[in-house]
Amino acid sequence: MKVTILLICSCLAWEGLGKPQFPDQEKDPLFWNTWAQRTLKNALTLQKLNQNTAKNLILFLGDGMGIPTVTAARILKGQLSRQSGEETQLEMDNFPFVALSKTYNTNAQVADSAGTATAFLCGVKANEGTVGVSAAAVRSQCNSTQGNEVTSILRWAKEAGKSVGIVTTTRVNHATPSAAYAHCVDRDWYSDGEMPAEAVQAGCKDIARQLFENIPNIDVIMGGGRKYMFPKNQSDVEYPGEMKHFGTRIDRRNLVEEWNNRMKNKNANYVWNKKELLSLNPNSVDYLLGLFEPGDLPYDLERNNETDPSLTEMVEVAIKILKKNPSGFYLLVEGGRIDHGHHDGKAKQALHEAVEMDRAIGHAGLMTSIYDTMTVVTADHSHMFNFGGYTPRGNTIFGLNSILSDVDQKPFTAILYGNGPGFKVVNGLRENISTLGYGENNYKAQSAVPLSMETHGGEDVAVFAKGPMAHLLHGVHEQNYIPHVMAYAACIGQNRDHCMSSSGASSLSAALPSLTALLTLIRLLC
């Protein structure tokens, strides 16, 4: 009863403020008309398409970042800056071209991250749970691997002479990054310690091993997954007393040591903490292996600022190293723990991960140019996450609705999940969340169906694009279309014929910004 009275009072207080609170300028039609006209003028400039050849390619992949997550992250970003949030713009919101991607796997209506990664990296749709192999391969059947391997855009870029990199907040051998270099019928074969003995005996390789053997000399690798690189029961350098972080390799190989030995004459560095990473001079580093945790990196809200680099910090170092190559680079960046937050029903963790990825996108934009760098931002799949309920403008994204349920007379948060661990019944009734810390970092939002882990969503996801040939990402596409567009923009892989016929024009077009800057400098000096 006391809780109900408090909620009614809070609603009355809202009413007493004179209805919705928003900036006075928004009451004037001139504000909206001026904004729309400015947007229109910007849109008209897009009629002149950027058909340069892309020297650099960057793919930002928000794992599990469905459209509701994008919208909620936008609001959170604004509210972190003391704005109401709805009118805020994410970095990806400013990309001029937007499409939708159909995420289903060949054998799944609602996709997993392995089959989708094969699509947006290798250009072919695949079965759930498999990476870097076609749909002819069957999950967990080792003998279905050979002959069904498919190559990724990272390999296409490397073979074209570009530098290549992988940056992730998950394990570097997790589903998304592994599709860039591995051919594996089971995404969970992180090391030989996670593989069935018969698969090892049949000659199938674990994913960690493939990271170092399949594509020689990947220039930059950063993320977690340290324990999969070391012999079983070898203690971890950061957590020496915790057995769960010990090495997992049954073959007793030390893949980090092998990498160091192989790269010792190549300006290569292995680092395992933020201090080591940020102490590097990128100008003197050509190859970098950074493994910052035994498993996944911690959520950004829980990150130790002294020992664990942020996604933005990793991206900055990666681009500084990769951009030294005059032929350009390909960089895969994964905000991988958005997905984990949602699976746990922890919307606050998931949305802060999305906001951090947005920071990384903005920082990458400052370090590159739209004239020669194609940047794509997308997701592999969505989640059973949503928010709603007629909340007022500026309502904290993690807060309560301004009304009670008219069925059970209890409060509910704006954020809810269709299924997941947040389902709870007390005395046969829905739990009264007003007594809980629903604003806490690890609060599990209520769900309609009880599951120990929340599931993916099956709807289309957004694709944001800018830079050369970004206009080719428009409308609704199959997810495997994405790497074909990026390859076409950069003249790599199977998309080279158009470059041969217009190489002179494309080279001149790409050089124009530099020529303009040079002429300006000459005029100033004279």
484 assigned ligand-binding residue: no
176 assigned ligand-binding residue: yes
474 assigned ligand-binding residue: no
Q: Which two tokens stand for residue 69?
A: 């997550």
Cβ 218 vs Cβ 181: under 8 Å: yes
Cβ 430 vs Cβ 68: under 8 Å: no
24 assigned ligand-binding residue: no
3-class SS string, 73-124: HHHHHHHHCCCCCCCCCCCHHHCCEEEEEECCECCECCCCHHHHHHHHHHCC
183 assigned ligand-binding residue: no
Cα–Cα separations (whole angstroms), residue 16 to 148, 311, 371, 516: 66, 43, 52, 58
Strand 461-466 versus strand 97-102 pairing type: antiparallel
Q: What angle do CA 431, 386, 6 make, to 5 degrees?
A: 40
Question: How many beta carbons lie within 10 A of that of residue 10, not counting itself?
Answer: 13
Residue 184 DSSP symbol:
B
334 assigned ligand-binding residue: yes
- Region for residue 140 given its phi and psi (left: phi exceeds 0; alpha: psi -120 to 50; beta: otherwise): left
Residue of 113, 152, 310, 506 with catalytic role? 113
Q: Is 402 a catalytic residue?
A: no
Contacts of residue 71, defined as CB under 8 A and 6 or more positions apart, other chains included, come to 387
Angle subtended by helix axes 347-367 and 67-80, to nearest 10 = 80
198 assigned ligand-binding residue: no
> Which residue, 450, 493, 406, is CA-closest to 154?
493
Q: Which two tokens stand for residue 147?
A: 């002959």
Q: Is 32 helix (H, G, I), strand (E, B) or coil?
A: helix
Contacts of residue 437, defined as CB under 8 A and 6 or more positions apart, other chains included, come to 443
Q: What angle do CA 372, 376, 381 make, to 5 degrees?
A: 170
Cα–Cα dist 366/116, whole Å: 29
Cβ 102 vs Cβ 119: under 8 Å: no
AA letter at 85: G
Contacts of residue 370, defined as CB under 8 A and 6 or more positions apart, other chains included, come to 50, 466, 467
Cα–Cα separations (whole angstroms), residue 268 to 30, 104, 133, 285, 418: 58, 39, 30, 6, 47
Q: Exposed/middle/buried for 2, CB within 10 Å: 0-12, 13-18, 19+?
A: exposed
Cβ 351 vs Cβ 378: under 8 Å: no
Q: Which residues are annotated as a binding site for Zn(2+)?
A: 63, 339, 343, 380-381, 456
Q: Which residues are annotated as a binding site?
A: 63, 174, 176, 334, 339, 343, 380-381, 456
Could you give the residue numbers annotated as active site? 113
Q: Which residues are annotated as a binding site for Mg(2+)?
A: 63, 174, 176, 334
